[in-house]
Amino acid sequence: MEFVKDHIWQVLIVLNYAVALSAVVTILLKKVNPTKALSYIIGLLALPFLGLIVYYLFGQEYRKNKIFSRKHVLNQSIIKRIQEGLELDTKAINEVDDLLDQKSKVIPLLYNNENSKLTIHNAVKLIKNGDEKFKLLFNDIKEASNHIHLEYFVIEDGKIGTELLNLLCEKASEGLEIRIVIDDVGSSISSKMKRKLKDCGIEMHPFMPVRFSNSTGKMNYRDHRKITVIDGKIGYVGGINVSDNYVNANNDRYWRDTHLRIMGEAVISLQILFFTTWDFVSGGKLEISNTYFPEHNCKENVPLQIAASGPDTDWSNIMEAIFVAITNAEDHVYITTPYFIPNSEIVTALQVIARSNKEVKIIVPKKSDSWIAEYATNSYLEMLLEAGVEVYQYTKGFIHAKTMVVDGVFSTVGTTNMDYRSFNINFEVNALIYDKKISSELTEFFNEDLKDCEKLDLKLWQERSKRTKFVEAVARLMAPLL
């Protein structure tokens, strides 16, 4: 005992490295991404105590452990019947094939990965920035007659958030069912507002609440989705959270973002996805009825798939869909992303098609909202420029849109960033759209944004200072942890 007291630090260091070596063996046996594995191994061995804390908070792999169960919802008879009604339609696939050629390979990929159905009868409206989104959303909420479901990474009760939550309280007083899922890390709602919501009869649950007693490993997995479903008829999905940052009328810094308003069959997929999350956060108490899935009489025909991914899916569905779409490009790929910290598959795909004389353009922010993400992003740009990819840095403010257009016929809008976290760790959702008109509109958005960008020159970019390149390299090493 005296020896331990006299050599307490030596004992702690020995214990630290005993646990750290055990963690290293676990990492190696999991056969995870080599870059990610190396990052954690270096942290465990080079940073006593801190390395262990980081690994056990952020490094656990839960996709294989299946702690996120969706079986209760997906096994309910109503969901089974609805999903059967949306079985993959060979005729519809052939019609989309004629339009998209190789791009329609994404459709069976997502169907086989996650049973994601192709829906045809949809009306889609592209939304540019939060000001437009909230105007439309508030009008739809005011017209709601049965239920309103929201699932958001960020809800803050600032000016726009308070307006939204007060409106939801009004609708609850009219007898509507209101359910809200908020991410416990991303969202910030005052205790006063939470009491008001509860008193109004609104059900709200945090996604994986972070408590010291139960946060080990799990705080790394966040619900990054932004979903609204109104009466089962109208759905919203995209990059815009509920925060004053996203409303330029309330914001000192211009915030550029993209969102979708959907009516039609695809809303069914968003509703089912919401219920799977609700089932997880609420303890599976809700019995789902036909009321949440009314008949759709949409006259427009925009083919669309809702793709979801996260630790509850066997595959990185959205990343794989993006990869397939890029590798099958025949003319051009236009990408807008706030964080470009990709895996090797996406980097290689972009390099290969750029070197195959395809037009590849990427817009990223010049000034990010995260300095480490900015440096990590910048560390990837030189290798893209060398391959012939055109890289543009957005200068008007912060660009937060997560969009891609391929060959003017395929596009995607959603919550997924081009980074490790979105591809492998967060719960994400994207709409994959097989339509020339929507792709043309998104291309117009893209070309308008280019007017507020600086195009990078390879030679000038290579002349960055050694200090800058060193910081980028360190940030890149940390990329799998971001």
Catalytic residue among 72, 400, 435, 449: 400
8 A C-beta contact, residue 473 and residue 379:
yes
452: annotated active-site residue: no
Which of 157, 223, 312, 407 is flagged as catalytic?
Answer: 407
What's the distance, Cα to Cα, between the start and end of the chain in Å?
42
Residue with tokens 């056969």, as numbered in its chain: 31
C-alpha closest to that of 305 among 200, 165, 434, 449:
434
Q: At what angle do helices 266-282 and 77-85 cross, to 10 degrees?
A: 160
CA distance 278 to 178: 12
Active-site residue (options: 226, 233, 259, 366): 226
Catalytic annotation present for 407: yes
* Angstrom distance (rounded) from CA 104 to CA 111: 12
> Which residue is catalytic, options 231, 244, 279, 435?
231
- Angle in degrees, CA 411, 355, 471, rounded to 5: 85
Does residue 80 have an active-site annotation?
Answer: no
Q: Which of 36, 117, 149, 224 is catalytic?
A: 224
Q: Does the annotation count 402 as an active-site position?
A: yes
Q: E strand or H helix at 158, and its extent?
A: none
Pairing between β-strand 453-455 and β-strand 390-394 as defined by DSSP bridges:
antiparallel
Angle between the 344-355 and 371-387 helix axes, to the nearest 10 degrees?
30
Instruction: Give the burial class of 466: count Cβ atoms within 10 A of its Cβ; 0-12 exposed, 13-18 middle, 19 or more buried.
Output: exposed
Does 332 participate in catalysis according to the annotation? no
Contact yes or no for 413/402 (Cβ under 8 A): yes
Helix (H, G, I), strand (E, B) or coil at 269: helix
Let me know: does 155 contact 297? Beta carbons within 8 Å: no
DSSP three-state, residue 90: helix
| Dihedral angle sign, alpha carbons of residues 223, 226, 229, 234 | negative
- CA distances for 272 relative to 8, 227, 261, 296, 347, angstroms: 54, 11, 17, 15, 33
Catalytic residue, candidates 402, 419, 435, 449 = 402
Kind and range of the H or E run holding 182: strand 177-183
HEC string for 281-317: HHCCCCCCCHHHCCCCCCCCCCCEEEEEECCCCCCCH
* Catalytic (active site) residue 117: no
Q: Which residues are catalytic?
A: 224, 226, 231, 400, 402, 407
